[in-house]
Amino acid sequence: MSERTNKTYFCRICGNEVKFVRDGGGKIICCGEEMKIKKEGFDGEE
């Protein structure tokens, strides 16, 4: 199982969130930028 599986990723631009269920090896892109892993307790505000 990949390190990315079962983690939630978010877009710093639009706030979209994606639950990673299967690793196909590609990057997770939204709004033209790579999405970041959402840390536990993070609400999307910096």
- Residue 32 near residue 3, CB atoms below 8 Å: no
Q: What is the pLDDT of residues 1-46, one digit of tens each?
A: 688 888 999 999 999 999 989 888 889 999 999 999 988 665 655 5
DSSP string of 19-44, one letter each residue? E-----S---EETTEE-EEPPTT--S
pLDDT score recorded for residue 3: 84
pLDDT for the residue numbered 28: 92
Domains of the chain: 1-46 (2.20.28.100)
- Encoding tokens for residue 12? 């710093």
